[in-house]
Structure 1
Amino acid sequence: MSEIQYLWAPSPVYSLPVRGTGVRFPVRRIFCVGRNYHAHAVEMGRPVDKATMSPFYFLKDASTVVDSGATVPYPAGTSNYHFEMELVVAIGKAGFRVAEADADELIYGYAAGLDMTRRDLQLVAREQGRPWDLGKNFEKSAVCTEIVPAAGQAVLDKGAIHLEVNGETKQRADLSMLIWNIREIIADLSKFYHLEAGDLIYTGTPEGVGAVKPGDRITGHVDGVGDIVLNIGQPE
């Protein structure tokens, strides 16, 4: 069989390091959970009633991934560039219509992540009933640490999560405050998608999101997972 010829080189495989190994985790898709902490939902002007509402999601391309510790340019088209600190779940096994009780079987590991957001563009889209892509799905907007293998540990349901900008605390909460927990998120997503190894799930951000500017340094932490760093560079 002849080798397939492409017009140009295919896109690279985007990946993240795996703690304690020499291999990398290939990223397939990035699912993000919107408004999954009550206080953040309130600060965004959209309170959540879990009894009557379901989780909602938006996606980022795998190409938006950037390793923790990077310096990224202040993005084009915005004057309100926000941080959102999150626990990230790394999927390591395929699953479709998964029961909550079995959801942990799909988890390969965890990471700390930043869902960087062009907030002004997101809010314009939200108010006009348009997709959020310009505000959320842009280059270098999915910052992530190395993947920490779960290795049979219990599903993370508690632990501090916090973020600082230039050493000043901006976000502080606990994973127990998630509206929809990890098992519930995996079970719900798997009703709509065939989850596959390589998928990442950004589980939502606590209250305290805010803007950064060139020269700022973001640091964050998730208990049991690790620390994340991002430096904001000058616009291109």
Structure 2
Amino acid sequence: MGAIRYTHLPSVTTVPVVGRSERYPVRRVYCVGRNYADHAIEMGIDPRTDPPFFFCKPADTVFAPEDQGEVLEVPYPPQTSNLHHEVELVVAIGEGGRNIDIRRAHEHIFGYAVGIDMTRRDLQLAMRKAGKPWEIGKTFERCAPMSAICPLHLCGRIDQGEIALTVQGQPRQKSDLSKLIWSVSEIIADLSRLYTLRPGDLIFTGTPEGVGPVVPGDTMRASIGGLATLEVKVAAAEADEVAA
């Protein structure tokens, strides 16, 4: 059997860190589903009987601005006509572990960022209705834009504060982090019973109500009190390309 030849090797995804020259290498991306009661209700789910759950995105779907004020671009993905925004608090893990005590979970946090979980809602709902995994609704190129990470020593613990998103300057999502069904400490503790957490793991902690569609040309502005604002523009769909 002949040797495998690569035109290039995949690079490690990294994210800028506020106030530092070194970057945060992304290992895994965990996401929490239905972690705000009002969002669960708008998705047709009773939050009292269906608690939040976890899913993942590939590390290479994450990208962040290199400079303050930079507007990121998300190409409109293929096979959808209903692309949605979901603003979220992102937690970056700095110290790993298993079966982490909830009382010490905050000690495992490296920092925080603002993220948007972009979602092909029509594909997600079709898969959910058919009882199939809905990864294709949640995962595609550049589906996880986020701000630079603010280290814990600069921003302190974030357990409350406004989380909001506008589209073309018009309010879409607005809530408070205190309304998380599962707190950040609970999320870390629960995840660590399922997986061994390690430095480089990102956790998208869930989105509040008000999710909705965006189209090419729309600019989203996501914000969380105490963190940098994230601006993302929806670009036209990329031209089809045949891989060599």
TM-score (norm 1): 0.94
Tell me what 2:193 maps to. 191
Q: Give the CA deviation at 1:105.
A: 1.2
- Output one character per residue of 1:146-196: Cα deviation in whole Å (capped at 9) or x when no partner: 000001865321100000000000000000000000000000000000001
Q: 2:153 pairs with 135, 145, 151, which one?
A: 151
- Output one character per residue of 1:207-233: Cα deviation in whole Å (capped at 9) or x when no partner: 000000010000011011221110011
Aligned residues: 230
- Are 1:80 and 1:120, in contact at CA under 8 Å, matched by a contact in 2? yes
Q: Give the CA deviation at 1:55.
A: 3.0
- Are 1:55 and 1:185, in contact at CA under 8 Å, matched by a contact in 2? no
Q: Give the CA deviation at 1:76.
A: 0.4
Residue 35 of structure 1 pairs with residue 34 of structure 2: yes
Give the whole-Å Cα distance in 2 for the aligned partners of 1:109 and 1:234.
33
- Are 2:155 and 2:226, in contact at CA under 8 Å, matched by a contact in 1? no
TM-score (norm 2): 0.91
Shift in alpha-carbon separation, 1:20–1:153, aligned structure 2, 3 A: closer
Shift in alpha-carbon separation, 1:98–1:6, aligned structure 2, 3 A: farther
Give the whole-Å Cα distance in 1 for the aligned partners of 2:154 and 2:214.
37
Tell me what 1:44 maps to. 43
Tell me what 2:5 maps to. 7
- Are 2:155 and 2:227, in contact at CA under 8 Å, matched by a contact in 1? no
CA RMSD, Structure 1 to Structure 2 (Å) = 1.4
- Runs in 1 of length 4+ with deviation above 6 angstroms? none
Map 1:126-141 → 2, pairs under 5 A: 126-141=128-143
Tell me what 1:212 maps to. 214
Tell me what 1:66 maps to. 63
Give the whole-Å Cα distance in 2 for the aligned partners of 1:107 and 1:136.
25
Structure 1, unmatched stretches of 5+, are none
Moved more, 189-198 or 68-77: 68-77
- Output one character per residue of 1:38-65: Cα deviation in whole Å (capped at 9) or x when no partner: 000000001211xx65431110000101
Amino acid at match of 2:11: P
Tell me what 2:111 maps to. 109
Q: 2:228 pairs with 212, 215, 226, which one?
A: 226
- Are 1:155 and 1:182, in contact at CA under 8 Å, matched by a contact in 2? no
Tell me what 1:90 maps to. 92
Tell me what 1:20 maps to. 19
Amino acid at match of 2:114: A
Structure 2, unmatched stretches of 5+, are 66-70, 239-244
- Secondary structure of the residue aligned to 1:232 is strand
Shift in alpha-carbon separation, 1:53–1:215, aligned structure 2, 3 A: closer
Q: 1:203 pairs with 197, 201, 205, which one?
A: 205
- Are 2:13 and 2:25, in contact at CA under 8 Å, matched by a contact in 1? yes
Tell me what 1:121 maps to. 123
- Secondary structure of the residue aligned to 1:135 is helix
Q: Give the CA deviation at 1:7.
A: 3.1
- Are 1:217 and 1:231, in contact at CA under 8 Å, matched by a contact in 2? yes
- Are 2:162 and 2:174, in contact at CA under 8 Å, matched by a contact in 1? yes
- Secondary structure of the residue aligned to 2:153 is coil
Residue 56 of structure 1 pairs with residue 58 of structure 2: no
Amino acid at match of 2:96: A
- Are 1:72 and 1:231, in contact at CA under 8 Å, matched by a contact in 2? yes
Give the whole-Å Cα distance in 1 for the aligned partners of 2:52 and 2:197.
16
Amino acid at match of 2:35: N
